[in-house]
Structure 1
Amino acid sequence: MKPLIALCIYLSAFMLLSACAQESGTMIAQQQLVDEKAELPVYPEVQQPAQEPLPVFPEIPKQAFTWVTEDGGQSQLDFNPRVDILFVTDNSDSMKSAQANLIKNLNRFTNGITNNKMIDYHIGVISTWDKKWENPESKKADPYKIGELRFAKTIAGTETAQRYVTKKDSAGVLATTLKIGVVALKDGGPENEEFFSPLAAALENNGRGSANEGFFREDAQLVVIFLTDADDASSRISPEQMARTLIDFKGGRQDKVSVYGVLVDAKDPDQYKDWALRVHPTYHPECFVGQKNNGKCTGFGPERLEQLIVAANAGSGSPKQIRDQYIMSIVSPSFGTELGRMGDSITVKTLEKQIFLSQIPRVDDAGKLMLRVRYGTADVLAQGKGQLIPNKLSGGWNYNPSSNSVKLSGDIKYEYKDGARFAVDLVPVPLAN
């Protein structure tokens, strides 16, 4: 028992000593913390400076824009759409029914052109040429030289002193003028029809005192229409050269030239074609062995004329699109409808207009172009009024920044006024200092 009692006394004494040591350590640590705090410096209270009031800035006034009107005295703002339409007509013997079909449906072609009060038109006709007539001893049925405009005719069919038809002439005068008739080969008619050579001659023969004087006007749209069941047989002019000649004639402006064709197609039956386009041993010996068809030829079309039409109307679409738009069939069952569509196309092209601006228009904060176009007489425009032309591609105007110009489409519905012109109003971009 004594050893056990001694052990208990020893443990109790040990625990008591440990507790006293822990308390003593805590007290010493607390005393050290108090001593450290006592040694910290005392700083004076910092005084915060008074806040200055924020400056009051004046309100920025909304920017005011000044609208200006392009000089109404500029001729480019006048609106006198002009078109010179030249028919290059085949008068060989095989064209009798085609010419009759044209005259029968002529009103459908001319309705849009002649009934539009705005359009000032010249319409004339030249005939095909055969180089054999360059021989003085050759037989020729008419007195017209290469490229000479035919004389206009009265409704009764008698020739006048005028070489072309204008707005003052009646529809009957136009019909009789375009009906030039045909000449059989035996009577001196054409065999190898040329179209490029008389067209080129017509362009050259337009000076003072010449047969075609006054027909071609510098500011007019030039439209050429071929009417034939043959192809061009000109040996000295390629289709590309002819296209270039037409464009150069209009000062290099391709947009001022349009070339159309009322033609046969390679797939049309031979009975509708000129002999030179038929699968015939005289004109296409490569298709025959002796007099027997070798089966290698399926038909011939007016390739050179088609190439010219594509080249002259370049920029109006792909070659296929150009053919579809600018060529119609001479034997079409819907000849009148297609002829009317051609006339409408010419009307739209003639009424297109481009106005070049002297200042660049500003764009507002909403991204809207600060530009407008009005149409009306000079006194109405001076009052800030007139027909407001909408800003849209079809039936209105469009701005071209690269040329700083306004392009007016040809299908705008105008409220026609005699002597009307355009006014272009804009807020100009300020010039840099």
Structure 2
Amino acid sequence: MKPLLALCIYLSAFLLLSACAQESGTLIAQKAIPEEHVELPVFPDVVQPEAPAIPVYPEISKQQFTWITEDGGQSQLDFNPRVDILFVTDNSDSMKAAQANLIKNLNRFTNGITNNRMIDYHIGVIAPWDKSWNDPKNKKSDAYQIGELRFAKTASGADTPARFVTKKDSAAVLAATLKIGVAPYTAGGPETEEFFSPLMAALEKTGRGAANEGFFREDAQLVVILLTDADDSSSNITYEQMAQALVDFKGGRQDKVSVYGALVNKNTPEQFKDWGLRVHPTYHEECFTPAKKRIAGKCLEGFGPDKLEAMIVKANEGSGNPSEIRAKYIMDIVSPDFGKNLGKIGDSITVKTLEKQIFLSQIPRMDNGKLMVRVRYGTPDVLAQGKGQLIPNKVDGGWSYNPSSNSVKLSGNIKYEYTEGARFAVDLIPVPLAN
């Protein structure tokens, strides 16, 4: 019982002490403190800082884009489509029927070129060359030197001082000029026809005072038309060299050169071919025995103007594969469709002459997938007013944009409202420069 009694005594004491402590605290809190002993701290007046001013920005408007007109006096915007057409016409005796066929169908060829008032053309003609004429012992020769343009003629066939036909001349003058006639071998005509050597010489005779001065123009399309029933016999000029010479003559611009041919082919009947392409022992011994007897199964297809065809394909590179180029640039000289095909050549020349490329000084902007470019055609005063014929944005019959060269290309079959002295204006919204 003693431990229990002790525990009770301890608890009683503890409770008594706690009650005394609470009583003491209450009494102390309730006791008044003399006023002279209170010292309150003095604080300075607190100044409330003003709220920072909210900056006022001008209202941001929607970005505006301005149309500009490419001009600056650039001659590239002028429109002076020019073409220099050089016929290389075989005048050997076997070409009499072919020349007559050319003159008969000439209007089909010239319709697109001469009737289009936009095109400024020069048309001239040279003949092939026979290397034997260089031999002083050979009394046969041509009245013209190698590569010289024939004199233009009047409608009645008389020679004129001019070397080529221009836009101001009539269709009758052109027909008379291209009808150079034929010359049998016995009368001084060529026996082995060279085409590359006189064509090369024609390019060289362009300087001041030269026979062909003024015919070739730097900014004009160059078109060569070969009309023959033979192949080239030039011994020192390859077809690659001839094609490259034409491109080099136009400053390396392949697009400024076109070469066409009205030719025979290996399957053309022998009577329509030049002797050099016929299966004959004098020219093709491989087709015959030493006794000049035809070898069975040899040379059945005959021979064609392989060198001329190869040069045409090479000169027109970029216009398709070889088969496509042959189909477009070579026609059969004895075909019943000769006139129709001649017309196609004329139309092709017209379209290419009217093509134009304009290089832009700034990159145009795209807006929702639409290229911000306009092309207008008209006289300078009309264009300055923001007017003129609006050219449609389409590849065929309009213009297209080439981003790689930043240029606008005008197709050659746009239906223009022809106006003398007209040019182009290209309007665009440029891509804004980065800050």
Q: Which category describes the TM-score, using the shorter chain as reference length?
A: 0.7 to 0.9
Q: Is the 8 A contact 2:133 2:141 kept in 1?
A: no
Indicate if the aligned counterparts of 1:83 and 1:121 stay in contact, CA closer than 8 A.
yes
Report the equivalent of 1:267: 267
Partner of 1:400: 402
Code of the aligned partner of 2:324: Q
Checking the alignment, whether the CA contact within 8 Å between 2:243 and 2:314 is kept in structure 1 is yes
CA distance in 2, matches of 1:245, 1:254: 11
Is the partner of 2:213 in helix, strand or coil? coil
Shift of 1:334: 1.1
Query: Could you tell me how far apart the structure 2 residues matched to 1:185 and 1:377 are?
Result: 55
What residue in structure 1 maps to residue 389 of structure 2? 387
Q: Matched residues in 2 for 1:113 and 1:204: separation?
A: 26
Please state how far the C-alpha of 1:423 moved relative to its aligned partner: 0.1
Specify the alignment match of 1:285 in structure 2.
285
* Inter-partner Cα distance in structure 1 for 2:118 and 2:202: 27
Matches for 1:139-178 after TM superposition, within 5 Å: 139-178=139-178
Moved more, 284-293 or 95-104: 284-293
Q: 1:139 Cα shift?
A: 2.9
Match of 1:350 among 337, 349, 353: 353
Quick one: which amino acid aligns to residue 301 of structure 1?
A: G
Contact 1:72 1:423 in 2 (8 A): no
Alignment-derived partner of residue 103 in structure 2? 103
- Other-structure match for 2:194: 194
Report the residue type matching 1:128 in the other structure: P
1:187 offset after TM fit, Å? 1.3
Q: Which runs of structure 2 are paired with 1:243-262 in the superposition (5 Å)?
A: 243-262=243-262
1:59 Cα offset (Å)? 7.4
How many Å separate the matches in 1 of 2:265 and 2:339?
Answer: 18
Indicate if the aligned counterparts of 1:141 and 1:183 stay in contact, CA closer than 8 A. no
Deviations 1:387-433 (A, max 9, x none): 11111111011111111111100000000011000000001112234
TM norm structure 1: 0.85
For residues 168-217 of structure 1, the C-alpha deviation after alignment (integer angstroms, 9 at most, x for no partner) is 10000000100001110111211110000000000001000000000000
Task: Tell me the equivalent position of 2:427.
Answer: 425
Tell me, in whole angstroms, the C-alpha distance in 1 between the residues paired with 2:84 and 2:238: 23
Deviations 1:43-85 (A, max 9, x none): xxxxxxxxxxxxx999753321100001152111000100000
**Aligned residues: CA RMSD:** 1.5
Identify the residue that residue 207 of structure 2 maps to in structure 1: 207
Q: Does residue 85 in structure 1 map to residue 88 in structure 2?
A: no
| Residues 354-373 of structure 1: pairs in structure 2 closer than 5 A | 354-364=357-367, 366-373=368-375
Which residue identity is paired with 1:198? P
Structure 2 residue aligned with 1:125: 125
The runs of 5 or more residues in structure 2 that have no matched partner are: 1-55
Deviation at 1:140, TM superposition (A): 2.9
Output the CA distance in 1 between the equivalents of 2:138 and 2:432: 71
Superposition TM-score, scaled by structure 2 size: 0.85
Deviations 1:246-292 (A, max 9, x none): 00000000000000000001111111100111111110010111222
User: Does the 8 A contact of 1:72 with 1:422 survive in 2?
Assistant: no
Pairs within 5 Å for 1:311-322:
311-322=314-325
Match of 1:228 in 2: 228
Q: In 2, Cα distance between the equivalents of 1:197 and 1:124?
A: 17
- Distance in 1 of aligned mates of 2:72 and 2:347: 30
Paired position in structure 1 for 2:241: 241
Contact 1:141/1:187 (8 A) holds in 2? no
Q: Deviations over 1:103-140 (max 9, x none)?
A: 01001100000000000000000000011111122233
**Gaps in structure 1 of 5+ consecutive residues:** 1-55
3-state SS of 2:374 partner: strand
Letter in 1 for 2:220: A
Please give the alpha-carbon distance, in whole angstroms, between the structure 2 residues aligned to 1:384 and 1:136: 68
**Which residue identity does 1:291 align to in structure 2?**
K
Of the candidates 359, 377, 380, which is equivalent to residue 379 of structure 2? Answer: 377
Aligned to 2:413: 411
SS in 1 for 2:146: coil
CA distance in 1, matches of 2:377, 2:312: 34
Task: Give the percent of matched residue pairs that are identical in Structure 1 and Structure 2.
Answer: 77
Q: Deviations over 1:21-47 (max 9, x none)?
A: xxxxxxxxxxxxxxxxxxxxxxxxxxx
Counterpart AA for 1:352: E
Number of residue pairs the alignment of both structures matches: 378
Partner SS for 2:165: coil
